[in-house]
Structure 1
Amino acid sequence: MRLNEVVFTDAKPVEGYGPGFFRIGGTVVQGAVIAGPDGVQNWGGFSDTEVLMGLQGRIDVLFVGTGAEIAHIPEDFRDQLETCEIGVETMSSPAACRTYNVLLSEGRRIALAVLPV
């Protein structure tokens, strides 16, 4: 039997983070970040859903990092994404980065939206 590796994206892993920044794929980005199949870009927070909605049909799950501690996300933010059939998993930003990296290494259809720690 021949096995082929399936790769859905060229997304880069989170290599590190600290107060106010993330290092993703060798690039340091200040502030909140979106990482996924379209690369890495700054994120305007929970009111900035346009780019995330554009991932409809291209990802199955969005990991949302709420900063140093887990916190509730706005209900309308979650509702907008779930209407587009994007699953939303909320956790602290460090946990979201770790989970994103593991599932990214498995070739899963995912993205990350994180607030800095």
Structure 2
Amino acid sequence: MKLQPDKSNAPTINAYGEGWIEVNGQKFTQAMRVSSLPNTPPGPWSAQHFDTLSDQDFAHADTTGAELVIFGSGTKLRFPKPEWLAPLICLGIGVETMDTAAACRTYNILASEGRKVTALLLIET
């Protein structure tokens, strides 16, 4: 009987702390996007701080092919305006909001299960 899950090829969030997130050994200190979708390396996200978010930050996020987007809202749970998420929802993409630490953990679990998930993560100090 096999007791451990299969290894996923998706990028893995190895660690995180105040002001940084490490993905596959690469440290990010500004808002970032990480995805379990093939040929989608982790990289910067246009958003920088929750107070400056706009519909454009979500509209231009590379979520093509994702079935779920996890929004990490920073150090505390804050919800974006529903109209900012409407384009994603109209495409049939689910959206979940949580603080960035919880979003990191949730992304790793879903990616390891083979789910098509993208995390949009605000990094705050």
TM-score range, shorter chain: 0.7 to 0.9
Does the CA-based 8 Å contact 1:6-1:107 persist in structure 2? no
Q: Which residue of 2 aligns with 1:51?
A: 61
> In the TM superposition, what whole-angstrom CA distance separates every residue of 1:51-101 from its partner, at most 9, and x where no partner exists?
33xx33x11101100011110112222111111211100001001110110
Q: How much has 1:6 moved relative to structure 2?
A: 8.8
Percent sequence identity is 28
Q: Which residue of 2 aligns with 1:83?
A: 90
> In the TM superposition, what whole-angstrom CA distance separates every residue of 1:18-74 from its partner, at most 9, and x where no partner exists?
22221001101121110012111111124323133xx33x11101100011110112
> Comparing both structures, which one devotes a greater share of its residues to strand?
1
Gap change, CA 1:83 and 1:98, over 3 Å in 2: same
Counterparts of 2:34 and 2:84 in 1: how far apart (Å)? 18
Q: How much has 1:14 moved relative to structure 2?
A: 0.8
TM-score (norm 1): 0.82
Q: Which residue of 2 aligns with 1:109?
A: 116
Counterparts of 2:119 and 2:88 in 1: how far apart (Å)? 13
Deviating above 4 A after TM superposition, structure 1's stretches of 4 or more consecutive aligned residues are none
Gap change, CA 1:51 and 1:6, over 3 Å in 2: farther
Q: Which residue of 2 aligns with 1:27?
A: 26
Which SS does the other structure have where 1:51 is aligned?
A: coil
- Unpaired stretches in structure 2, ≥5 consecutive residues: 48-52
Q: Which amino acid aligns with 1:59?
A: A
What is the aligned residue count?
109
Which SS does the other structure have where 2:61 is aligned?
A: helix
Counterparts of 2:107 and 2:80 in 1: how far apart (Å)? 18
TM-score (norm 2): 0.77
Which SS does the other structure have where 2:33 is aligned?
A: strand
Q: Which residue of 1 aligns with 2:50?
A: none
Q: Which residue of 2 aligns with 1:41?
A: 43
The equivalent position to 1:62 in structure 2, one of 58, 66, 69, is 69
Does the CA-based 8 Å contact 1:63-1:88 persist in structure 2? yes
